[in-house]
Each structure stands twice: as structure tokens, then as C-alpha cells.
Structure 1
Amino acid sequence: MSTTTVRSPRTSPARRLLALAAATGLVLSACTAVEDEPETTPSEADAAEDTPEPDTDASSESDPAAESEDPDAGGEIAIGDGVTEEACPEGVNPDNGCIYLGVLSDLTEGPFAALAVPIVDAQRAYWAQVNADGGIAGFDVDIDTYTRDTKYQPAEHAAAYQQIEPNILALAHSLGTVNTESVLADMDANDIVAVPASWWSGYSFEENDMGLIMEFGYSYCVESMVGLDWFAENHGEISSVAAVGYPGDYGGDSAAGAQLWAEANGVADVTVVPTGPNQVTGGQDSVVAAVMAAQPDVVILAVGPAENAEIVGKLAAGGFTGRFLGSLPTWNPALLESAAAPALTALYNHMVPTEQWDGTSAAVEAMQASLDGEEPANGGYVIGWAMNYSMHALLQKAADSGDLTRAGLRAAVDGLEVDFDGMAEPITYGGNGAEVASSGLIIGTPNAEAPLGIETTNEFFHGSTFEGLDYTQACSASS
């Protein structure tokens, strides 16, 4: 692994996107789409043959860089793997070099494809705007060349990672905790930083993520704790809780948060009901029976939208009078067209770590402008927009320090401050536990007249339980 240096133009850091910038005029190429019945995609080998590979020889054959001058003063920037002096294949600034970021996501047939596709579309729109604004320190950013479909399978994820790793600076998107963990040792060996599309509590501890994972928003564990605080404040005292979800980093982490909340608040009646996606379990009748037997005041759901609709709809039809708090991935506006819509509207609240399409921050205004104000298919676009701010800030910090190598990027994570332009709670990377964990929660209520079918509070709620917790380790195992 070697580095070279390139002369940086005089540029001022562009750390924020302006809401009324030229995003409205962008033409986004190669947008992803999910069909009702996804077509079979080419093999990764075929994809590799069809994908132009950047020429990285100029970076790899030079001697390691000496101390760089201040790039803001027109000095030099060290570059290495994943960064070229040559322009990006679809670059908008022909005199710029290129920063290649990888994307490993569920884009066709996996359980989260409907959410992941708009996540990637939002990322494309975001970086297209960055490039339209001049790029970063003389470089455009490319996330298309090394986007790969992993079908939410660890083996597919690992194979795709090995294919793109030699040619990327970092991962702009790695979907799934277990999937990401399948390549984490190699990421550590090669200084590959990643933004995750998952919210496991272990990411708040360097012993688990090796300081490579730039999480944003709260974990599923913290979400349950803060959500139950909100419920108690808005719906009355809680005497019993049920936690329903996929085992592991998602449902397991969510259930652990519910149990921690119960212990802290003197609630002894907690029912944990593991389940899986409908394509695995065949349905949620066993969950419905378990919850009906337990009769909790509130049910925490950490499932997918289809399971959410079935569980809430069948329980309501059976006379259940408790309420439901749904984790971030449980909602899709299409649920308001399902038979469960009346039950969801009456009994369900959605929990999210960021402002949604009806938010008021500068980041939300920029996001809306990227689609000319037209709503996306679902909240995946919101997630995709928010998750870019950390990587953007990291690239800018590394460029400002004169080191756009992988090692330079990894070193820049420690102490990096990101404010998300108000869309999510600010975070300072490099700490452990409560030092880095976010706890701000925004609550949504189903409403067919609201953007994306959810009317949100647009104010971050924190509660008291997490603040008093001795948060020194992950709430749950990742699998």
C-alpha cells in the first residue's frame, strides 16, 4: 500500500449542503429500482467485467508522501488506494481527481431491498450535489462504480467486499451488522472506514467496531429505552412490556433495551417473543398468540413492515387493547393501503433517530430539493440522505489535514464532530458508550395526509432511563 501527493487547489471546506442549491437541476444516472418481482442480477464476476476499473497506478507506484503542506493554502494532499488524480468515470469536474467509495447493500431480493434501494438513491443524489458544488479539495466522489448487491447475505457481502476493496478509499454504506462483521477484520487490516446501515449498540464501543464504523443516530437498544420513556410520559404508567423482533443485532438489541428499561423502572412483567421475516416463518400467528396471552400495555416491534402490519392488524382484530412502538425499519407508507391501516393509525407509533420528510432542518430542505420536492417511495431515502454527513465531514477533515489515504481517513475519525445540519443529533466520534451514543428520538404517527404516511414531532425526545444507565458494553450480541 503506497501513497503519492497531489497539489490541492485553493478551496474552502464545503461541509454543508445548501437547501436551495442546484440540486433541483441534477440528472441522476443509474438510479436503482426494485421491481415487484426482482429480476436476477448479473453475477459479481459479470458485474466486474462490465464495470470500468479506475487506473490507480499513479497512486500506487509513487514513494510515500512526506509532510504535506496546508491544502487550504494550495498545498499537497497525500493519496493512496481508492483515490486517483484521474477524473471519475462520470465526473462533473474534468479537472478534479476521483475519490471512490464502496456501497454494499441489499438491492434486489433480500428482506430489506425495498428500504435499501432508496437509501442508495439518496446517497447518489447527495454526492452528485457535492460534485456539482465543486467536490472535495479537488476531487469528485464516485459511489456508483463500486456499488454491489449483497442480497443481505454475509457470504455475498464478503465476496462483494473482496472484489471492490482494492479500489475504494472507504465504504459509504455497509448494510447489516452481521454482514459488516463478516469483513471487519479485513477492514481493520486495510484501514477501511464504513458508514453502517444498521443500528446495533455494539457500534458504540471500539472493542466491537475497531473505531472503523461511523454510526449515526441511536442504537436499537437505546431506541427501546427512550421509546418506553416517551410512552410512559404520553400514554400513562407501564406495568408490562412485550418485545417482538428478529433475534440478534436488530430484534435482540431492541429486546435488550426493553429489558434494561424495565429493570431501571421496576417493571417485572417483560415478555420477549423472537420471530423472523414472513418468508422464513410463514406468518406471525405464534407471535400474535404469545402477545395476546401476555396482554402487555405496550409492544416494542423490531421486525419488517409486512410483519408489523400482520401483528398489529391481527391483534387489534382479536380485541387487544395495548399499543405498539415500532422500530425504524418497521414502517412503509404502503401499510396505509393494507387491511391493517385502521389498527396502525389507532395503535401504532413509529420511532426514528432523524427528522423525516416533514422536518424543518437545513438538511431536510436540501434532501427535499434533491427530488424537486417530490416524495420518495419510503423513508429509506431519508436514511440515505442522513448517513452521508459523517463521511462527507470525514473526507473534508482528512483533506484539510493533507492526508486522503486510508490511514489518514481512519486517523481523522477520532474527534470528528458532525452536526448533520440539524437532521440528526450531533455526534463526536472516538468515544465509547455514552460518550458517543445518541439518544434523541422522534416519534411518528400514521397519517395518510402526511408525507410518507407519517406525521412526526420534529423535536428530539430523550427521556431519563438511558441517561442514568451504566452504558459500558453492547446491549446484545450481534447474532
Structure 2
Amino acid sequence: MKQGFRLIALLAAIALVAAACGDDTSDTTTAPSNTSTTADAGGTTTTTEEMMTGPTFDIGVTEEPCEGGSPDRGCILLGSVTDQTGTFAAASPGLLAGHELFWARVNASGGIGGLFDVDILDSAIVDNGFDNATHVEAYQGIRDDVLALAESLGTTQSLAALPDYIDDNMVAAPATWWSGWNYPESDAGLILEAGASYCVEAMNAVDFAVSNFPTGAATVGIVHFPGDFGEDYLAGVKLAAAANNLDVVYEQVTLPIALDPSQQGAIDAVLENYADVTFLVMGPNETATIVGTVAATWNASGTDPRPFIGAGPTWNSALLASPAGAAFEGGIYFNSAPWGPWATDTPGHAALRASAEAGGAPASNFVSAGWVEQYPLKATLEAAVAAGDITRAGVVAAANSLGEVDYEGMVETVADYSGNSIITSSVVSAVDAAAPDGLTLLAGPFTGPTAAAHDYTGPCTG
């Protein structure tokens, strides 16, 4: 364990100073002091200007500057366990760009507490292939190199690695919005979630459909991935359906397109049940296949189309250029999400857009997600530095006593994050080919009546 070196204190000692000798077995280091001695009529005064101890740190923090960082600040190193080859491989570059833009802005504004810049270590950006065992193995390869994780992608993947995170005091910003992350009983207080959960997002999406779709929403269906991603959103749909006296006419599990290229079971369920609204909880590729095929079938048979609402991760603006692009532009699909699309008018969105333009990053909902995910981690690191302990244990302590987290308007400010991090507002957007990320805000952030009345004593699933 080491001590930081940049907090300066001025000590004055009157009269002669005796030096005490003895062995020091501590592993703490302190920068040497600068001493000047002056004489006056009353004797000798020794004035010591000493570089006093700053924040204590251990793994993943250096006194040396980050690569390309300020020479006057140390460096906090972060890692990322993401999906570069699996179901959400298309999301990974955008998420990383969002992380890097966020921390570049922090560094340009003085870093963390004026003492440390933050860097996502290239060698610590690793692929989980959207697979639980691979996630654990990938994390174990970087666990000794970083202070915290800027990303831990996937609900079941992150849960698989949670025992290692606990052993290592590893705090992580998740690229997953499972409702369990709101509760320390589920994540040991290590997962720093940002925005509404899948469950809350779904409750609000159903309430939106009831109030806004001309054809109504008396019957609803849902096609979802297995696991906590799909099941958490499913739980929210069912809670809101019950609250609104709606009939859930089908629940269809589908697999990633790599395992089920045709998505035929999902397509058949949509066509055969013909619900007023179908909710989709999957990736963009599966969404394109299902929406495109169903829309083409309805069009060929002269059947009136019914709307889809997709969870946040179902959308990628590249879908507009896919064979299903015409279906999306035709107004058949809507997107629910924890925060507004690229052009939303908030200070946080404006800062994101400016940073992306300067950094050459694309307008993308995944870049937005990568950016927003970092706000609680930033607040935690600032609290740890202010407390003088940026060891891993110190970061965990800061996370578990964290107060306000300000998302600059992108989502609602959380006043007492460690006490209650639950956010109940979300948005619904429509496809707009002229919009930077293909989406334009329709409603929100809003909290529907179902989410407002829900009893948040535990996660919706798990």
C-alpha cells in the first residue's frame, strides 16, 4: 500500500527539533519534505514544508501520470469486460467510445479531486462473448491490473463473476439494467447501476401504450431472451398489464440469432396471436429479423400492422440500413429506454454531443449508454479521493456510503445513492431516420402510474 504525494501541508516547529531513529516496517511511502531554517532574536526556527500523505491507494492506481494525461496528476486505471464477439458485439464499440469520451471530459476538467486522471487500460478491455464462463475467465485475466471496471456487460455474465468481484473488492459499472442491481443483497454493493431497470422501463412502456396507441393495448405479447434481461422486462410488462387489466396473450422465449438464425418461433408467435402490442427484449439483429419478417407478412396479406415496443438494447441506428429498414421507418416500432435519445435537450446530452463531435464518435444510443453508465462510478471515485482512501476497499466503502449522483439531467438526480438508487422514470422514442441516432423522443422522462405505485422491496426477478 502506498500514499499519495500531492496534498501539501505547512508545519512549523519552534526551537530545535530532535530526530527520532527507528526501523519503519510500513509499506507506506511519502514524498520527502523540503526544509528551510532561519534564525531570529528568540532562537532558531525550523520551518518544514512537507509533501504530506494524500489518498492511500493500492491496485490500479499510480503516482505516474496516465498515458497522455496531466503530468501533475496520478492515474486511476479501469478495465472493461464487454462483448466483442457475441450477441451484443455491435454495441461494444459504442459503449467503449462513451466511456472514453466521458473520462476524457473529466480529465480535461481537472480529473478526480484534482489528483488523478482516469484511463481505461487498453490491455484490460476484454471480450466475454456474451458467455458466463468466458466473462469470468476474461475478468480473472485483468483483476490484478485495474482499480474498478468501467463496464461489466450482461446480467447473468456479471452475476457469474460476482463472487470474484466480492473477493477482489471490485466495483463495476454495469452494461445491464437488471432490477437486482438496485439491492445490495443481490450485488454486495459492488454494481453501480445507472438509470431505470428493465422492469421499471417495461412498466412505463406498457402505461405509455395504454394511453397513447390509437388501437389500444387490451392484449399484449412479449418475445424475450432467456435470463434476467428478458425476464426482468417480462416481469415489468406483466405487472403493468395486471395494473391496467390487460391480457398477456403470449410469452415467447427466443435465442440469440447465432443460435436461432430464422427466429421462426418468435415470428410465428407474433403472427398467430396478433396482440395489440408486442414487446421485444433482445438484441438489434433479432429485432430486425422479427420486425422485418412480420411487417412484410402483414403487408402482403393486407393485415393492419400492430406496434412493437423494444427494450433499449433492441435498437441500433444501423437497422435503418438493413432489409427491415422500411418497416422501421413505417412507424411500426417504438423504443423504451432509461434516458432520451441523442438529440435530447439536457446538459448531459449536450456535453456528450460536444465531446463526440470533438472526438469523432458517432451518434449512437450505445455511445449514450457508455457515457451515462459512468456517472455513479465518477461520484464514487470522487468520494473515495475526498475520504483519503482510493484502495479497492476504500472505493467499496465510498460506494456503500455514496450520497448524491448528478446525471446532468440525462436521468433524474439520485439524492442518496447508497440508500436508494432506484430510478422510476424512463422514456419512449419513435424511429426518425433524420435523427442522429435514428430516434426522436416521444415521451419522458416520465414515471407511469404502475411504476409510481410499485412496491420496491426487492428485485422484480432473481
- Are positions 1:430 and 2:418 aligned together? yes
Paired residue type of 2:110 = G
Secondary structure of the structure 2 residue equivalent to 1:371: helix
> How does 1:288-303 map onto structure 2 within 5 Å?
288-303=267-282
Residues 429-472 of structure 1 show CA distances to partners (whole Å, capped at 9, x for unaligned) of 223xxx43212122211111111111124731211001212232
The answer on whether the counterparts of 2:177 and 2:196 sit within 8 Å (CA) in structure 1 is: yes
Instruction: State the Cα distance separating 1:372 from its structure 2 match.
Output: 2.0
Secondary structure of the structure 1 residue equivalent to 2:55: strand
The answer on whether the counterparts of 1:248 and 1:476 sit within 8 Å (CA) in structure 2 is: no
Instruction: State the Cα distance separating 1:355 from its structure 2 match.
Output: 2.5
The answer on whether the counterparts of 1:350 and 1:445 sit within 8 Å (CA) in structure 2 is: yes
Residues 206-231 of structure 1 show CA distances to partners (whole Å, capped at 9, x for unaligned) of 11111111111111111111101011
Q: Which residue of 2 aligns with 1:37?
A: none
Instruction: State the Cα distance separating 1:282 from its structure 2 match.
Output: 2.2
Q: Which residue of 1 aligns with 2:39?
A: none
> How does 1:11-160 map onto structure 2 within 5 Å?
62-63=27-28, 76-88=54-66, 90-107=67-84, 109-137=85-113, 138-145=115-122, 146-160=124-138
Between Structure 1 and Structure 2, which shows a larger proportion of helix residues? 1
Shift in CA distance, 64/457, structure 1 to aligned 2, threshold 3 Å: farther
Secondary structure of the structure 1 residue equivalent to 2:204: helix
Q: TM-score, structure 1 length as denominator?
A: 0.82
Q: Which residue of 2 aligns with 1:50?
A: none
The answer on whether the counterparts of 1:359 and 1:458 sit within 8 Å (CA) in structure 2 is: no
Shift in CA distance, 106/177, structure 1 to aligned 2, threshold 3 Å: same
> How does 1:341-352 map onto structure 2 within 5 Å?
341-345=325-329, 346-352=331-337
Higher relative contact order (CA 8 A, sep 6+): 1
Give distance in 2, aligned partners of 1:139 and 1:344: 45
The answer on whether the counterparts of 1:240 and 1:270 sit within 8 Å (CA) in structure 2 is: yes
Out of 140, 147, 164, the position equivalent to 2:142 is 164
Residues 234-272 of structure 1 show CA distances to partners (whole Å, capped at 9, x for unaligned) of 115421110111011111211121111122222233310
- Are positions 1:476 and 2:458 aligned together? no
> How does 1:76-475 map onto structure 2 within 5 Å?
76-88=54-66, 90-107=67-84, 109-137=85-113, 138-145=115-122, 146-235=124-213, 237-319=216-298, 321-345=305-329, 346-372=331-357, 376=362, 378-413=364-399, 414-427=401-414, 428-431=416-419, 435-457=420-442, 459-475=444-460
Give distance in 2, aligned partners of 1:264 and 1:127: 42
Give distance in 2, aligned partners of 1:262 and 1:450: 31
Secondary structure of the structure 2 residue equivalent to 1:382: helix
Give distance in 2, aligned partners of 1:117 and 1:152: 15
Give distance in 2, aligned partners of 1:415 and 1:97: 23
Give distance in 1, aligned partners of 2:268 and 2:139: 41
Q: Which residue of 2 aligns with 1:39?
A: none
Secondary structure of the structure 2 residue equivalent to 1:425: coil
Tell me the C-alpha RMSD between the 2 structures: 2.2
Paired residue type of 1:253 = D
Give distance in 2, aligned partners of 1:214 and 1:465: 25
The answer on whether the counterparts of 1:244 and 1:300 sit within 8 Å (CA) in structure 2 is: yes
Q: TM-score, structure 2 length as denominator?
A: 0.84
Paired residue type of 2:279 = I
Instruction: State the Cα distance separating 1:74 from its structure 2 match.
Output: 7.8
The answer on whether the counterparts of 2:218 and 2:276 sit within 8 Å (CA) in structure 1 is: yes
Instruction: State the Cα distance separating 1:93 from its structure 2 match.
Output: 1.2
| Seq. identity, % | 38
Structure 1 stretches of 5 or more lacking a match?
11-59, 66-72
Give distance in 2, aligned partners of 1:135 and 1:9: 15
Secondary structure of the structure 2 residue equivalent to 1:143: strand
Q: Which residue of 1 aligns with 2:18?
A: none
Aligned length: 414
The answer on whether the counterparts of 1:243 and 1:254 sit within 8 Å (CA) in structure 2 is: no
Give distance in 2, aligned partners of 1:117 and 1:94: 29
Give distance in 1, aligned partners of 2:249 and 2:402: 38
Secondary structure of the structure 2 residue equivalent to 1:231: helix
Residues 24-70 of structure 1 show CA distances to partners (whole Å, capped at 9, x for unaligned) of xxxxxxxxxxxxxxxxxxxxxxxxxxxxxxxxxxxx971499xxxxx
The answer on whether the counterparts of 2:194 and 2:375 sit within 8 Å (CA) in structure 1 is: no
Give distance in 2, aligned partners of 1:84 and 1:61: 18
Instruction: State the Cα distance separating 1:195 from its structure 2 match.
Output: 0.5
Secondary structure of the structure 2 residue equivalent to 1:402: coil
Secondary structure of the structure 2 residue equivalent to 1:459: strand
Residues 118-164 of structure 1 show CA distances to partners (whole Å, capped at 9, x for unaligned) of 11022112212322333223112121242222222222221221121
Paired residue type of 2:185 = E
Secondary structure of the structure 2 residue equivalent to 1:422: coil
Q: Which residue of 2 aligns with 1:51?
A: none
